[in-house]
Structure 1
């Protein structure tokens, strides 16, 4: 009776995976990585990665996770799964607004996109001296009321019709500049990073 190496028997889930070899080759070449460099990042030997790319070996699920991280993608992408179609329309009143730390957040775009648009209601004095620093970019447009925007050591006063676009690694603070509060449109890039959502100066909502 023939035997299979441990973890690669007929009943192993990896045996049921679709052929990922072409996608692995494509991703590595798109990232302009040599076989050696990609293997080192994924914690594999170049020979093992070569066998995966030529279809002579099937990756285990832990290997797929490591390769997805190496190439900056998802396991679903490696397996060729198509994401469901997103509805491009966000109707008024859906979803419900979310209140957090004094601010009210109205979602104005689809979840899971790189760009995350919101409409914000910012009362006067909300969130204290909270300063944010995180990867990405932010854009805002003042709809109503005066806004104070701290960027590094510079303070900007904005009114309705004014806008700002800045690198969010710059320490920044958004606050209403008058007792009537302020309302604004706000767009930020959603980046998955170990440094994301770093807040300086205390707790508060981390967007």
Structure 2
């Protein structure tokens, strides 16, 4: 088996640390909290005990593959190994704090915090056409009509929603959303954020841009 310590570009055993000064005590502390001996942790990571010892004493810099392997073993993240502190989530989203994003005629205003399991948006939806994309993806969606009327196709069923109406559905069901009024419609939209970046939400292959 090829050891991660044998990867090209790895510094010499006695190289002095100059990039990640805090990672050494983090590695040592995490290993001890997991109750692992140096030998056991090194074996799981595909390293020699001597190499892991040099990482824990700061005599050698870990490569990214090493950090990934050690993070998995210790049940943490690379960011945590590097001592990075995630930003606190601001519970309040002020009007006008972020610029709207437009793609394929859809205009998105951020209505929730970034990095949450739920993505909340205020959306202007253009008039529905037969060319609108039918979308299928993991998760759930909820929408509430503010102004105008919305045509929601779910599988073989078509629903027309008036202001004040809402819909909540599994987004693995083929769906298409468009305004039933020529001037478009405005709605609140919430979906579970799995793998889609916020700007790519329900946009198909469109390229979003700031207005």
TM-score w.r.t. length of structure 2: 0.66
| 1:127 positional shift | 8.8
Tell me the residue number matched to 1:120: 123
Conserved? CA contact 1:118–1:185, under 8 Å: yes
Aligned equivalents of 1:72, 1:145: Cα separation in 2: 49
Aligned equivalents of 1:66, 1:112: Cα separation in 2: 24
1:41-77 residue CA offsets vs partner (Å, 9 max, x unmatched):
xxx95374896xxx75745321223565799974113
TM-score w.r.t. length of structure 1: 0.67
Aligned equivalents of 2:28, 2:109: Cα separation in 1: 43
Aligned equivalents of 1:124, 1:101: Cα separation in 2: 11
Aligned equivalents of 2:193, 2:178: Cα separation in 1: 21
Report the more deviating stretch, 122-131 or 96-105.
122-131
Tell me the residue number matched to 2:105: 102
Aligned equivalents of 2:202, 2:98: Cα separation in 1: 26
What secondary structure, in the 3-state scheme, does the structure 1 residue paired with 2:65 have? Answer: helix
| 1:190 positional shift | 1.9
Aligned equivalents of 1:25, 1:152: Cα separation in 2: 53
- Aligned Cα RMSD in Å? 4.1
Unaligned segments of structure 1, at least 5 residues: 28-38
1:115-172 residue CA offsets vs partner (Å, 9 max, x unmatched):
2111001121379321222222211111111111122222222111221222222222
1:143 aligns with 2:146: yes
| 1:23 positional shift | 4.6
Pair 1:122–1:205, CA change in 2 (3 A): farther
1:133 aligns with 2:136: yes
1:186 aligns with 2:189: yes
1:174-202 residue CA offsets vs partner (Å, 9 max, x unmatched):
11112232110001222237xxx7989x7
Pair 1:23–1:10, CA change in 2 (3 A): same
Report the more deviating stretch, 114-123 or 57-66.
57-66
1:152 aligns with 2:159: no
Aligned equivalents of 2:172, 2:76: Cα separation in 1: 23
| 1:80 positional shift | 4.4
Tell me the residue number matched to 1:9: 14
Select the residue among 59, 76, 80 that pairs with 2:79: 76
